[in-house]
Structure 1
């Protein structure tokens, strides 16, 4: 049993460790967000609702078919449904009918409704696409923020290692009487400050990881981590294209402009639907019905022997009484159920024309509201075009500005690295004090952090520009 249990234990342990050490790539994060994000799921539900509305619109062209059945008991003076005679009795009556109807003409409302449903479906699809683009950008931004924070943490730790080496060397030189104790205290102060920065940087990394995990709906914050290697600037010719070319591509590809265009089309269909209320409507129907009862039948029997005749009138000219045979009425059992249904059935059919004459100005007012809404959506479309052009210009300027900032930060880092190395060499031979060396090292650290910041900012700005150019969010390269 032990031989079986031990390998099983290590198997479970290895699975657990592999799950804990999994690191997410950016593409995995984006795909996971698109599959699980609540906002994306809500947009998908909106699209499914639009699909159902399209099916509803198709159903308006189909005829209707409805059936009904009833069964009731009556006690007291009631009419026999089969004979029409009022009787004091307890009876059970049932009736059945089925009706089919078809819309022949209703001011083209069915056609307009079908067209509107298709436009609404397209708008829902564009809304879903836009939501996916937005979520992809949110995830990319959060991911790049983690990369930046990790890079800054790495800088802080590597520089503190240098400080610890200098601390040991300075301590030896102070003990030998080569350097004053003040230099040792300065290095110790620098070490304490750097350890504080490392602690802050570690907290920043952890918080940014939690933020991304929450965006991905991942609850295991403790074991969540990302791959922080291989994310360098990928040169793309999109940033070198004329801004007007990017704007034209955005007009063809961006969902927000398509949404505004579809909203205008929806408003036009709503106006057509409102105007259709001015037209008459024509519909046809056919109905089949039947009924049965368990009430006794009242039938005509033979001549009543007690009163064989009965007066039915008087001849006005002679005054003679007119008599007729007096037949006795007899009660007999109800006919069989199926026979009653056959004998009592009937069919009715016809057409119905409704002509709107006066309805309190409601149709006219609805038409005016639809015209106002159409104007509003047209203004919104124009605003969406202006906003898109402005956003593309802003993204273009931001991307180029971020590139220049990164290039400047790279040059500054190179200069600060040389200055730091020069100060280190001078400090090693005792030509400068610990304070000046610490200040040079601080400037070098800040230059490295700034270079990291501008690098990841440029990567993000470039991806925004690529999205405007029409690159799908799932195909962005990092």
Structure 2
């Protein structure tokens, strides 16, 4: 009996606790609200291309450090220990003897290049250019990540606004349907209007499903841009976009383009890559010239065949040397000539890449600038059109409610109002986000404010 009581008590305690643990409210964490600033932060943390660019900077720093170290002399030390067992000639006795002896010969040497047609200088300049190029390439990668997040965020935000507009339209149509059904039931409205509204409600539900699917697709694209795993763990923050008079004022294209070219990370990266290629050509040409180097060293030896202890022999048999060496290239199977030719091709390609970088950024800014100007023009016209269509719809709705106009006139006015609202929303969001994108490329702002 006592055991049964304990079991019942544990069941009473465990079952409610288990129900709480497995409930959806407890087991599922709240989705994270994804703000534009947070999206930028996640994209910069997770982007693989950005991490690769960071690794390239680390490698460039290491290469530059090595180029500086090339100006210093090297220092090498060696020591060996050998045990020999066999027949050898003994210098002391003048006879062949069979014995076992030990020997070692430590050495310390240093060499330094005095002249190599400024090879080290050209190599250092090349590594410095490569480092500058990699740093600007990293900054450009960050900029592209920010620009891509802005574009993805724009698409998702527009999708949400279109869904809200579609839901408002559906709600209005459903309320009108209910009203017409009541009027038809008491004989003051025609059954035709009821059927028409039912058709429009069904059609609007289908449109809403399509908009929701588009939102899911664009939101997934945003999550993939951030390189996250599960879209279900995130929800998008509501953004209220307000367009001020300053937002609709845009500088002349030539001024914008000049600022972009002055601050373009990609153009600067390509420029320093081109400079590095020029120095690489100079490096390859140094192999045509002779080189001069000096060297010095010190060494000693020890053997059990000699009299004396280890350190005593080391002291006795110490010797040193110094000298210089001149190396003159005479014939190397046209290896240097081929290396110079390859370096020239690399330089020409780097020059073309520099020109291509200028062309690419020019084409992109032309598109972004045109999109911004078009959005501003559309916004000004859309704002005026929406106000007019809203007034017209309110008037037509009043006439329809009193039976002074037909269903088709009402539906046409509603469609005109909804289309005007969609155009206005698209223009507002496009102005806000494309201004941010242009500011990024102009170097005016790297924030999301």
Is the counterpart of residue 371 in structure 1 residue 371 in structure 2? Answer: no
Separation of aligned partners in 2, 1:223 and 1:442 = 36
Greater mean alpha carbon deviation, residues 424-433 or residues 35-44: 424-433
Query: 1:256/1:234 Cα in 2 relative to 1: closer, same or farther (>3 Å)?
Result: farther
Deviations 1:229-271 (A, max 9, x none): 3333355479532222222212211112212221221122112
Query: 1:130/1:238 Cα in 2 relative to 1: closer, same or farther (>3 Å)?
Result: farther
2:405 to 432, 436, 443: 432
Greater mean alpha carbon deviation, residues 54-63 or residues 381-390: 381-390
Separation of aligned partners in 2, 1:223 and 1:48 = 34
* Deviation at residue 435 of structure 1 after TM alignment: 4.3
Separation of aligned partners in 1, 2:156 and 2:208 = 15
> What residue ranges of structure 1 are gaps of 5+ in the alignment?
1-9, 298-333
Greater mean alpha carbon deviation, residues 21-30 or residues 377-386: 377-386
Deviations 1:86-129 (A, max 9, x none): 64333333222221111211111111111111111110011011
Partner of 1:140: 150
Separation of aligned partners in 2, 1:188 and 1:117 = 73
**Equivalent pairs, count:** 433
* Deviation at residue 355 of structure 1 after TM alignment: 1.2
Q: 1:214-233 residue pairs with structure 2 within 5 A?
A: 214-233=224-243
Separation of aligned partners in 2, 1:29 and 1:224 = 10
Question: Is 1:81–1:93's contact at 8 Å kept on the other side of the alignment?
Answer: no
Separation of aligned partners in 1, 2:378 and 2:89 = 97
Deviations 1:358-396 (A, max 9, x none): 222222333233334333333433343344444433332
Partner of 2:387: 414
Partner of 2:447: 475
2:439 to 440, 444, 466: 466
Question: Is 2:389–2:416's contact at 8 Å kept on the other side of the alignment?
Answer: yes
2:329 partner SS: coil
2:284 to 257, 266, 274: 274
Query: 1:342/1:429 Cα in 2 relative to 1: closer, same or farther (>3 Å)?
Result: same
Q: State TM-score, norm by structure 1.
A: 0.81
Separation of aligned partners in 1, 2:202 and 2:111 = 87
Query: 1:212/1:379 Cα in 2 relative to 1: closer, same or farther (>3 Å)?
Result: closer
Question: Is 1:209–1:224's contact at 8 Å kept on the other side of the alignment?
Answer: no
Separation of aligned partners in 2, 1:83 and 1:419 = 128
Partner of 1:5: none
Q: State TM-score, norm by structure 2.
A: 0.86
* Deviation at residue 408 of structure 1 after TM alignment: 2.6
Query: 1:250/1:88 Cα in 2 relative to 1: closer, same or farther (>3 Å)?
Result: same
Separation of aligned partners in 2, 1:124 and 1:202 = 42
